[in-house]
Structure 1
Amino acid sequence: MNLHDVRLFLTITETSSLTQAARRLDISPMAVSRRLAALEKMLGARLLQRTTRSVSLTQEGSEFLPYARALIEAEAGAKALFSAETKGAVGLLRVTAPSGFGRRNILPLVPGLLSANPELRIDVQLTEDIVDIVGRGIDVAVRIAPLKDSSLIARKIIDNPRVVCASPAYLHQYGIPKNLNDLTTHHCLRLTNVLQWTFEAEGQSTSISVEGRFSSSNVEGVRELCVQGLGIAQLTLWDVKKELNEGSLVAIELQDVTQQNLSVWALLPTTRHLPLRVSLFIEALKRSLK
């Protein structure tokens, strides 16, 4: 397989345009079309749908995409292995994570990773949206929510149970809820799209609808108002671990339910030819959380 043609395929998927790919590679659009056709002929499958304005991946193209990236990464890794100038991981590490968790637990890792790996580049995308990591070329997606079935590879980083918490000042003024139904009499601070809080009871999942005067689309907003004493929140342990250790928030244990056990997960598009930069990032995250 011609790796130059594989690299050309990746460039087309990044630009969504044969013309833009030709400009980036400094070759003619006709040469791009000819080399893409040669790659498709060799594979025996059509990888891209072409129109006059844009290109898009076929089903076969989507399936080939992670293998194409792995081939190019393997080539770069092989070259780096025997290069006197190269130390550590190389290439571009693309990571996506929830914004609150990412700012607190992933961004602090970046300086150390860059310092230890001079040929490494890092792109961190912080978003609450579920990102198509294969289509977007993401190396690692850090997820907190319960995982849905998918073709992605999941690696557990650490336990991350849900925690109901409030500030000492709030609990002093309004009292400590003892049972699940007591939450209906309290000011609950919630994430905008989370209308119910989930717990475990006798091995089964159970939920309760919560109401309050404040909601936010991100964890940081809920956590900040909780620390200020405006209500009770349900977040995950690693969202509030710092505040629990400092005492600015207090964990609340309800008598008739237990917290839902979640985890921090690293989702990977594939484990074939896993680049060194991905392994180093996952291990660095594990160490920082432990």
Structure 2
Amino acid sequence: MDRLEAMSLFVAAVEAGSLSAAGRRFGIPLATVSRKVSDLERHLKTRLLNRSTRQLTLTDAGHAYLAACHRILDEVGEAERTAAGEYSAPTGELIITAPIVFGRLHVLPVVTGFLAAYPDVAIRLMLADRIAQLTEEHIDLAVRIGELPDSSLVATRIGSIRRVVCASPAYLAEHGTPETPNDLAAHNCVTFEGLTAPAAWTFAAGKSDLTVPIRSRLRVNTAEAAIDAAIAGVGLTRVLSYQITAAVRSGTLRAVLQAFEPQPWPVSLVHAGQGLLPLKLRAFLDFAAPRLKKRLLQATW
């Protein structure tokens, strides 16, 4: 029995919530995963998992063994990275995650430049509008937009972005331009589920917040769709400033209520930062941070 493989499958099953999900992660059949985990339990002479048709739960022994597996697998991975030279020269694969639109507009161009400068490093760029778990998902670096909770993660701030209300000039000409947040009650709005609640928007009013109800005529689940709808004249929408730079500069969208915008959100590069950083990560941080700062400064109007 390959105990390291069995440990990896056991950890993956717990993290993913099922044996089948662990199999998909490793590209092996469910029956193989089940057999290897069962072999591990027989070897240990104890049950690690309680299996049901709906979920997996850890036994008391499983909880203790999971912690040990994390420690052992991390140490093995560290030894392999050292042996492969990742601490003496930038080499190997770097896994990075970023929000979809920000990643496409700003991270991807920086990644392509980095790949040209560091031919021995490969990058897996995962774009998703969700908060990925760096340790559990084996991610080296994340681009995070918004205030960061206290944690053991290390963050490098690269700029900030605004939350902007905007509409097409044609819509504003027909319906009027809102002068205060309370004017939104008379307007059609396009809401984006990933950024704000569909029923109300919050603004800055002096040193306090002002939350106003809005009338959502169209509710979408991507920023691109909200922006396209606003350009088409459906109504006002609220998105992040970098997402509409080109549209504002071209005149197809106009920002409103700028005096009432909330505090800008920080943009950060976040990594686990435990122990000595692999040179591939250190090299990317040194390469990407100043370039992303410059791009964010340029993504204004």
1:155-193 CA distance string (max 9 Å, x none): 222111211222222222222110010112112111125
Alpha-carbon distance, 1:123 to partner: 1.7
Among 215, 220, 227, the alignment partner of 2:219 is 215
Cα offset, 1:108, TM superposition: 2.5
What is aligned with 1:26? none
Name the aligned partner's letter for residue 205 of structure 1.
D
Secondary structure of the residue aligned to 2:138 is coil
Q: Could you say what secondary structure the match of 2:115 adopts?
A: helix
After superposition, where does 1:65-84 map in structure 2 within 5 Å?
A: 65=70, 69=74, 72-73=77-78, 76=81, 79-80=84-85
Superposition pairs of residues 44-123 of structure 1, within 5 angstroms? 49=48, 58=63, 61=66, 65=70, 69=74, 72-73=77-78, 76=81, 79-80=84-85, 89-123=90-124
TM-score (norm: length of structure 1): 0.72
CA contact (8 A) 1:168 1:250 kept: yes
Q: Look up the match of 1:163.
A: 164
Match of 1:265, SS state, is: strand
Gaps of at least 5 residues in structure 1 are 24-28, 38-47
Structure 1 residues 82, 279: closer, same or farther in 2, change over 3 A? Answer: closer
Structure 2 partner of 1:236? 240
How many correspondences in the alignment? 266
| Match of residue 127 from structure 1 | 128
Q: Secondary structure at the match of 1:213?
A: strand
1:45 aligned residue: none
Indicate if the aligned counterparts of 1:70 and 1:274 stay in contact, CA closer than 8 A.
Answer: no
2:156 counterpart SS class: strand
| Cα pair distance change 1:104/1:50, threshold 3 Å | same
Change (3 A) 1:52 1:229: closer
Inter-CA distance 222–278: structure 2 relative to 1 (3 Å threshold): farther
Q: Secondary structure at the match of 2:277?
A: coil
Quote the offset at 1:97 in angstroms: 1.9
After TM superposition, the structure 1 = structure 2 runs for residues 173-212 of structure 1, keeping only pairs within 5 Å, are 173-192=174-193, 194-195=196-197, 196-212=200-216
How far does residue 117 in structure 1 lie from its aligned partner after superposition?
A: 1.9
Counterpart of 1:212 in 2: which secondary structure?
Answer: strand
Note the C-alpha offset of 1:137. 0.8
Quick one: which amino acid aligns to residue 260 of structure 1?
Q
- Greater alpha carbon shift after TM alignment, 258-267 vs 61-70: 61-70
2:31 counterpart residue number: none
Identity of aligned residues (%): 28
* Gap regions ≥5 residues in structure 2: 29-35, 295-301
Q: Which amino acid aligns with 2:253?
A: L
Please identify runs of 4+ aligned residues in structure 1 that moved more than 6 A.
4-8, 51-57
Change in 2 beyond 3 A, CA 1:11/1:252: same
TM-score normalised by L of structure 2: 0.70
Q: Cα gap change, 1:33/1:254 in structure 2, threshold over 3 Å: closer, same or farther?
A: closer
Cα pair distance change 1:245/1:96, threshold 3 Å: same
Deviation at residue 66 of structure 1 after TM alignment: 8.1
Aligned-pair CA distance for 1:136:
0.9
8 A contact 1:141–1:266 mirrored in 2: yes
Matches within 5 A, 1:247-262: 247-255=251-259, 257-262=260-265
Q: Mean Cα displacement is larger for which, 99-108 or 269-278?
A: 269-278
2:266 pairs, out of 255, 263, 266, with 263
Letter in 1 for 2:255: A
SS at match of 2:85: helix
Q: Quote the Cα distance in structure 1 between the aligned partners of 2:91 and 2:127.
A: 22
Superposition RMSD on alpha carbons, in Å? 3.9
> For residue 297 of structure 2, what is the aligned residue in structure 1?
none
2:272 equivalent to 1:272: no
Q: CA deviation at 1:107?
A: 2.4
Note the alpha carbon deviations across 1:26-78, whole angstroms, 9 max, x for none.
xxx69x959x98xxxxxxxxxx9457898978478459848954773575356
1:118 to partner: Cα distance? 2.0
